[in-house]
Amino acid sequence: MERVQEAVFSCPKSMTYGPCGGVEFDGTCEVSEHRCVFVDRETVAWRGPMPVLLVDRPASDGSPGVVAVPSDPVSPGGAEFAQLIRSRQVVVADFPAKAVDRVSLAECADLLAGSADATLAGDSGAHRVQFSPSYRAQLIQSRGLRVIAGFNCRDRNRVAIEGELAGLADVGVAAVHCVTGDHTLTGSRPDAKPVFDLDSTGVASLAAEYGHLVSVGESPATPPVAHRAERLVEKQRAGAALAFVNHAGGAAPVARFIAEVRERQVEREHGEARLPGLAYIACVPVVVDRGSAELLRSFTTLVLPDGYLERILGARDVYAEGIAAAIDLSNELLTLDGVSGVNLSGGPEDGRESFFAEALARIASGVSLRIHGAG
C-alpha cells in the first residue's frame, strides 16, 4: 500500500469526529506513517443537533423500550426492525455476494432469507465499483430479506449521500449502518479521489434526519481503547440507536465495553435528556475454509477469542467446526445483558459466495434455535 506523506499531517479522511476504526495497534494512522491525529486527544463531542430520535419509547407490551427510535418521522422498515429487536434477539449476517452481479445477489439473498433476520450489506473494500446502496438494497429486499444498508463516506459527497439516504428510505431498509469507510489508498482503487465530505458520526445524524433507524460500529480493542466507549456515546447523541460491536476477542471484552458505554452515558446525561439504551449487535467471526480465514485476517485491528482460529483450522472437518464455533460464540454473546443480537461477520474468497452464504444460513439457523427457545 502506498502511504500518504505530508509535511503537516492531518487526517487523510478529513474526519471531524475521529478516530476511524483503522488506527493501528501502535497508534499509527491506517493510511499514513504518521501517528493518528485523534489518538492522543480527548473525544470530540458531537456538536450538531440532538435528534428527536433520542426518545426511549415503551415497547407495545408496556415494558421499557431498549431501542431508541425516531419519534417522527421514521421509515416503515426501520420501525418494523426496531419493533422486532424489542420483541426478541436477532441474527444478522454479512452479505457475501459478488459486487455488481444481480444473479449472485439473488442467490445469496435466497440462501439467507428465512434463516437470518437481516443482512448487513455494505460496500466491499476489495471491489471499488459497486451497485449503489439503494439499488442493492432494493434487489436484496425484493427476495424477502431485510437489509441493514452499509453506507460509507469515501466515494460520495454530502449531496450524493443525501440522495442515497432518500433512496434507502424509499426502499424501506431496516436500518442504515453509517461508517466512515476505508481510504481509497487502502482499497483496490488508489486512482480514485477520496471524498470524505462527512464521517460516520456526521452521516449518522443525517441518516436520522431522513427517518432511518441508525446503526454505527465501534471497535473496543482499537486504539484509543480508553476512548472508544465515549466515542460511541457521541455517535448515539448524533442519532445512532444500534451499535455493532466489532471483533473484540470474545464475550468478556464485549460485556466490559457495554458496561463502560453505560457509564459514559450516565456521565453525559448531566444537563441533557436521558440517553436511552443502545441495542448492541455483537460481531461473530465466521471461518469455514482457508479462504474465509484469509479474508478475516485482512480486517483491520482484528482481535479474535483465544484459540478460535486454531480450533477451526486444526479440525479434520474445517467447515463443520467453523459452523459449530460460530454458533457457540453467538450463544455466549447472546447471554450478555444488553446484547440484542449477533452479526455473522466475514466473507468468502472469490467464487465461493454461495458456499459462504449457505454456511451463514446454517449458523443463523443454529443460533435461531436458541433465540426461539428450541436449542
Q: List residues binding ligand SF4 (CB under 6 A).
A: 11-13, 15, 18-20, 22-23, 29-31, 36-38
Residue 83 CA to residue 143 CA, distance in Å, equals: 21
Q: How far is the CB of 223 from ligand SF4 (least distance, A)?
A: 9
Residues 6+ positions from 79 with CB-CB distance below 8 Å: 69, 213
At CA 30, angle to CA 238 and CA 224, rounded to 5?
Answer: 55
Q: How far is the CB of 29 from ligand SF4 (least distance, A)?
A: 3
| Residue 38 or 151 with smaller CB distance to ligand SF4 | 38
Residue 50 CA to residue 172 CA, distance in Å, equals: 24
Task: Give 230's DSSP letter.
Answer: H
Q: How far is the CB of 240 from ligand SF4 (least distance, A)?
A: 18
Residue 125 CA to residue 252 CA, distance in Å, equals: 29
Residue 335 CA to residue 337 CA, distance in Å, equals: 7
Beta bridge partners of 160: none
Residue 184 CA to residue 201 CA, distance in Å, equals: 20
| Residue 31 or 258 with smaller CB distance to ligand SF4 | 31
Residue 220 CA to residue 228 CA, distance in Å, equals: 6
CA atoms within a 13 Å half-sphere pointing along the CA-CB vector of 291: 10
Q: How far is the CB of 312 from ligand SF4 (least distance, A)?
A: 30
Residue type, 223: P
| Residue 186 or 265 with smaller CB distance to ligand SF4 | 186
User: Does the CA dihedral 245-251-256-258 come out positive or negative?
Assistant: positive
- Decide: 360 and 353 in contact? Cβ < 8 Å: no
| Residue 15 or 121 with smaller CB distance to ligand SF4 | 15
63: left (phi over 0), alpha (psi -120 to 50) or beta: beta
| Residue 35 or 57 with smaller CB distance to ligand SF4 | 35
| Residue 38 or 244 with smaller CB distance to ligand SF4 | 38
| Residue 36 or 203 with smaller CB distance to ligand SF4 | 36
Q: How far is the CB of 28 from ligand SF4 (least distance, A)?
A: 8
Residue 92 CA to residue 172 CA, distance in Å, equals: 17
Following DSSP, what letter does each residue of 233-266 receive, concatenated? HHHHHHT--EEEE--BSSHHHHHHHHHHHHHHHH
- Decide: 43 and 231 in contact? Cβ < 8 Å: yes
| Residue 26 or 72 with smaller CB distance to ligand SF4 | 26
Q: How far is the CB of 186 from ligand SF4 (least distance, A)?
A: 9
Beta bridge partners of 282: 245, 342
| Residue 3 or 143 with smaller CB distance to ligand SF4 | 3
